Amino acid sequence: MIDIHAHILPGVDDGPQTLTESMELIEQAVKEGITDIITTSHADNPHYDVSKIEVLEKIELLNAEMRKNNLSMNIHPGQEIRIGQSTIERLTNGELLTLADSKYVLIELPTGGIPAYTIQIIQGILNLDKVPIIAHPERNRAIAEKPSRLLKLINHGALAQITAGSLAGHFGRNIQKQSLELVDANLVHTYGSDVHNAKTRPFLFDAGLRYLEKHKRLDAVDIFLENNARIVENIEVIILEPKELQKSKWWKIFA
């Protein structure tokens, strides 16, 4: 299994702060059956802007430590890119990383809303023959208030990534329900842990999949895992036609 969204590099953002903590996360991932991790340190975030060079250096550090500890895990480079006015320029110049050197780009919206230039950024990424993937839309306030906003972004060519912890209930029952509704509406296409640490933001990769299985969304499980693999292989992902969105009370959790 492949995790396409993870903060496991030591001392670069709000993920693990030490190499020891990073290794604990990798050990946890091995126990959950994860074989590949795309590291997605924050880039162009108001609090963190981890450079491409830092990512590649830290991956080498992890690989060396794994060899010393006889651990087997494939670590791929990537970044979680907060969209902004310089996003397209930095992608064009090669300053920012795609996921596992593929055409897929993990982008992050501000938690509180969707900037007016978001569609422009999506189109700009597509013009570079790359595909934007919106990270954890289920935790975006504007999408929670009006989920058709996510549909609009997808209709403009974006994909979306659901978070394991959201489905597992880590962020509360309302976000868990919201996440399942996005799955049912075919508005999310890939699956990631968004792990940050072993205690308060663990992988929960298997727990999220079990939640889907428990609620008989077996097709979603298969598609998410297949699409994660396709991202690493840099081939086209499976995209199902979006379904009609049901009326929801999600907005009340933000009232």
| Residue 44 structural domain | 2-254
37-93 per-position pLDDT tens digit = 999 999 999 999 999 999 999 999 999 999 999 999 999 999 999 999 999 999 999
Query: CB neighbours (10 Å) of residue 148?
Result: 12
- 79 φ, ψ (degrees, to nearest 5): -145, 150
Residue pair 248/181 in contact by the 8 Å Cβ criterion: yes
Distances (CA, A) of 162 to 63, 77, 98: 27, 20, 18
Q: What is the token pair recorded at 26?
A: 């990798």
Residue-level pLDDT at 246: 57
Residue pair 203/28 in contact by the 8 Å Cβ criterion: yes
3-state secondary structure of 110: coil
Residue-level pLDDT at 221: 97
Q: What is the token pair recorded at 77?
A: 């480079």
Structural domain tally of the chain? 1
* Phi/psi-derived region of residue 100, left when phi > 0, alpha when psi is between -120 and 50, beta in every other case: left
156-199 per-position pLDDT tens digit = 999 999 999 999 999 999 999 999 999 999 999 999 999 999 88
Q: Is the pLDDT of residue 248 over 70?
A: no
What mean pLDDT is predicted for residues 134-153? 94
Residue-level pLDDT at 18: 97
What mean pLDDT is predicted for residues 142-161? 95
3-state secondary structure of 120: helix
The whole-model pTM stands at 0.93
Query: CB neighbours (10 Å) of residue 245?
Result: 16
Q: What is the token pair recorded at 232?
A: 């690493």
CA-wise closest residue to 135 among 41, 225, 51: 41
What distance in Å separates the CA atoms of residue 125 and residue 214, rounded to the nearest whole number? Answer: 37
Task: Please provide the average confidence, as pLDDT, over all residues in the chain.
Answer: 94
Query: CB neighbours (10 Å) of residue 199?
Result: 8
What 3 state SS string does 74-102 have?
EEECCEEEECCCCHHHHHHCCCCCCHHHC
Q: Give the CATH number, domain containing residue 75.
A: 3.20.20.140
Residues with Cβ within 8 Å of 100's Cβ and at least 6 positions away in sequence, in order, are 4, 38, 76, 77, 78, 231, 232, 234
Q: Is the pLDDT of residue 149 over 60?
A: yes
